[in-house]
Every structure is written in structure tokens, then in C-alpha cells.
């Protein structure tokens, strides 16, 4: 039984999540309180509501985690907490709680970059593992969520940014189109579902920057094009929803996968991960498998519960740093904006 466990706390946006993770990425248990219902009437995350809900949910979740696993504090190596980037009121709740638990129990704590967590979520395991699954060789990471769309070259704990979105994140592009279609929030999964029954070539949506040499993305033109298309369709929209979703989704997936492929080809790297909430998308998973086959690559996409925001990924990222002797000081600030380097 592993004695070196990391208690992880993630409250950077609207999900309150806690987890116990061992040094090799085995997730003993994770508990997450989803706030979707609280934000549903507003069609997006309301920062003040998110912060207040974290405050209510966090400590009861930590208690449940210890009770259900029968783990006591003697087995805890340290505490990992997301301190950047994110909503300031949400980050503060997790960070102050982590600092207080660290002081009370005499444990080190470490602030973790949310995106580093997303990258490393590809190496989490739901069963005990003999050795760490983490690749030592360089790999390309595509992190796509409601807040970010980034491409990195990851080499032994360093993150070289290759490209990122110039405007909306991939998840936002899904969510905003879902809102225009009156599907609800968060919309990515609803578009994914409707798209299963639609034709991917029914509508011709733009693929911005796809031919550019860089690795950047842009989704604001696609959003406007979606809006114009819906205006032109008028009463027809209702019958065309599956076709609209399939075509719109294909435009996003085409851009993301072609930039990923370009990075693999130019770097001659044969390993990649796709993570973040949007990596839950079934078409992305299909296309990633096809890309890996075609290019002879090894790849990882985490299971669904580790794609969206979760504490386990923060626990593993923090554990790797705690194992190296790194830790944060009590004056560590929350940072609403921060690059991953």
C-alpha cells in the first residue's frame, strides 16, 4: 500500500474537486461537486456564485475523501492546489484551504498551474500501477478546454509553448454555438451528441489559420459564420440541428488536429496527448486514433472524468514536484493569469 499520497484541491473555475493520488499517478479516489445547475440559468459561469459554492462544498468533500478511503494524515506527503490561472474568487478558496491544512497538519503544499495538470492528466491511472506511466521522452500536448486551447512541446518537465488560440477557446466555440442553437450549457457534449446523427459536409464552415505555418488557432470567425448561417436558415434550424452540429464540430476538429499533426511532423516527435474538457469529444477521439495510426504515433487521451476539470491531475502534477523536493511558501499568491513554462 502506497504511503506517499498527495491530497489535491482544484477550484480554479466552477468545479470543486478533491483527490488522493499516489506518486505514480494512481488515483485512489476523487470527489467532485459539479456546479453546472447553479450557472445554467446564466448560460455561463458566474464568478461570484462559483466562489461561494466552492466555500460550501470544499471541506465536506475533503472529509468524505478521507472517510471513504480510510486514509489518515500520516500517509499524506503533501498538498497540491491549483493557484493559477483561474477565477480569482475561486482560486482563493482552494488556496487558503490548502495553506490552512498544510499548517494544521505540518505538511508541505505546492501551487500547481492548472494547464500542467491538464497535460499530466493523460498519465493518471484508475488502478494501482507498478511504475509511473509518464513518458520520459518529449511529447506534443494539445490542451483544449472551455478556457484554453494550447499546443506545447513537453520535454522532461518543461513546457515549450508552440501555439494557442488568438481569441475563443475550442470549448467556448462549442458552448457559444450550442447557446445560439438553444441547446443549453455546457454545450460541447450536447453538440457532440446531436452531431452523431448529422452530415459533416452539410455546411461549409471556415477553418481559420489552417494553412498558416504557425500553430495558433482562431475560432471567433467560425462563431460569426455559425451565427450568420442560423440567421439565414430561420425556421429551418429545427430540422437541421444534427447537420449543423456535425458540420460545425468538424470545422473545430479539422483545425485542432491539423495543427497537432503539423507539430508532430515538424518536431519528428511520435508521441502526443490530447487533454482538457474538449478531449471528451467523440469525433476528436476518432480522429486522434486515425492520426496516430497514420503517423505511427503512441498517444494518450484520459478517460472522461480526467478530461474535464478535476483534482487528480493537480495531485499528480504536484506530487511530481513534491517528490523533487519542491514546495510553495505560505505567501504564494493566486494568479488569475499565468503562462505555463
Residue 250 binds ligand KG4 (CB under 6 A): no
* Size of site (CB under 6 A) for ligand KG4: 19
Residue 338 burial (CB count, 10 A): 15
Cβ at position 14, least distance to ligand KG4 in Å: 8
170 contacts: CB under 8 Å, gap ≥ 6? 144, 145, 149, 217, 219, 252, 256, 278
Cα distance between residue 197 and residue 21, in whole Å? 39
Cα distance between residue 338 and residue 111, in whole Å? 12
Window 142-161: residues binding ligand KG4 (CB under 6 A): 145-147
Cβ at position 147, least distance to Zn ion in Å: 6
* Contact code string over 286-325 relative to ligand KG4, x by CB under 6 A: ----------------------xx----------------
Residue 35 burial (CB count, 10 A): 21
214 contacts: CB under 8 Å, gap ≥ 6? 163
Cβ at position 163, least distance to ligand KG4 in Å: 18
Residue pair 298/194 in contact (Cβ under 8 Å)? The answer is no
Cα distance between residue 80 and residue 10, in whole Å? 9
Residue 175 binds ligand KG4 (CB under 6 A): yes
Which of Zn ion, ligand KG4, none lies near 187, with the C-beta cut-off 5 to 8 A by kind?
Answer: ligand KG4
Instruction: Using the rule CB under 6 A, give the single segment among 26-34, 100-108, 184-192, 235-243 that binds ligand KG4.
Output: 184-192
Helix axes 188-195, 282-295, angle to 10 degrees: 70
Cβ at position 72, least distance to ligand KG4 in Å: 31
Cβ at position 145, least distance to Zn ion in Å: 4
Residue 85 binds ligand KG4 (CB under 6 A): no
* C-beta of 139 vs 306, nearer to Zn ion: 306
Window 125-164: residues binding Zn ion (CB under 5 A): 145
Cβ at position 203, least distance to ligand KG4 in Å: 18
Cβ at position 17, least distance to ligand KG4 in Å: 10
* Beta strands 15-22 and 27-34, pairing class: antiparallel
* Contact code string over 216-235 relative to ligand KG4, x by CB under 6 A: --------------------
Residue with cell 425556421: 235
Cα distance between residue 183 and residue 206, in whole Å? 22
Region of residue 169 (left: phi > 0; alpha: psi -120 to 50; beta: else): beta
Rg (CA), the chain: 20
> Residue from 71, 170, 309, 322 that binds Zn ion (CB under 5 A)?
309
> Residue from 18, 79, 91, 278 that binds ligand KG4 (CB under 6 A)?
278
Contacting residues toward ligand KG4, per CB under 6 A: 13, 145-147, 171, 174-175, 186-189, 192, 276-278, 280-281, 308-309
Contacting residues toward Zn ion, per CB under 5 A: 145, 309
Amino acid at each position: 500500500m502506497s504511503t506517499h499520497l498527495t491530497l489535491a484541491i482544484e477550484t480554479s473555475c466552477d468545479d470543486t474537486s478533491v483527490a488522493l493520488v499516489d506518486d505514480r499517478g494512481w488515483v485512489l479516489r476523487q470527489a467532485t461537486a459539479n456546479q453546472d445547475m447553479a450557472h445554467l440559468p446564466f448560460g455561463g459561469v458566474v464568478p461570484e456564485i462559483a466562489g461561494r459554492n466552492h466555500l460550501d462544498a470544499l471541506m465536506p468533500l475533503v472529509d468524505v475523501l478521507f472517510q471513504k478511503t480510510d486514509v489518515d494524515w500520516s500517509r499524506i506527503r503533501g498538498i497540491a492546489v491549483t493557484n493559477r490561472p483561474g477565477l480569482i474568487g475561486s482560486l482563493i478558496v482552494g488556496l487558503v484551504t490548502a495553506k490552512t491544512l498544510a499548517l494544521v497538519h505540518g505538511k508541505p503544499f505546492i501551487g500547481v498551474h492548472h494547464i500542467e495538470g491538464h497535460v499530466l492528466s493523460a498519465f493518471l491511472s484508475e488502478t494501482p500501477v507498478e511504475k509511473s506511466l509518464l513518458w520520459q521522452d518529449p511529447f506534443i500536448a494539445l490542451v483544449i478546454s472551455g478556457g484554453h486551447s494550447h499546443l506545447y512541446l513537453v520535454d522532461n518537465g518543461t513546457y515549450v509553448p508552440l501555439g494557442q488560440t488568438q481569441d475563443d477557446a475550442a470549448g467556448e466555440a462549442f458552448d457559444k454555438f450550442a447557446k445560439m442553437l438553444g441547446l443549453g450549457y455546457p454545450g460541447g457534449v450536447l453538440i457532440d451528441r446531436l452531431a452523431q446523427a448529422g452530415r459533416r459536409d452539410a455546411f461549409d464552415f471556415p477553418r481559420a489559420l489552417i494553412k498558416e505555418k504557425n500553430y495558433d488557432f482562431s475560432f471567433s470567425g467560425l462563431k460569426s459564420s455559425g451565427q450568420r448561417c442560423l440567421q439565414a436558415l430561420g425556421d429551418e434550424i429545427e430540422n437541421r440541428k444534427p447537420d449543423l452540429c456535425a458540420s460545425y464540430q468538424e470545422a473545430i476538429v479539422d483545425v485542432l488536429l491539423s495543427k497537432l499533426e503539423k507539430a508532430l511532423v515538424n518536431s519528428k516527435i511520435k508521441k502526443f496527448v490530447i487533454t482538457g474538457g474538449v478531449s471528451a469529444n467523440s469525433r476528436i477521439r476518432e480522429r486522434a486514433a486515425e492520426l496516430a495510426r497514420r503517423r505511427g504515433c503512441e498517444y494518450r487521451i484520459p478517460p472522461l472524468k480526467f478530461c474535464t476539470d478535476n483534482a487528480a491531475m493537480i495531485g499528480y502534477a504536484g506530487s511530481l514536484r513534491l517528490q523533487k523536493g519542491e514546495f510553495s511558501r505560505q505567501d504564494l499568491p493566486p494568479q488569475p493569469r499565468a503562462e505555463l513554462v
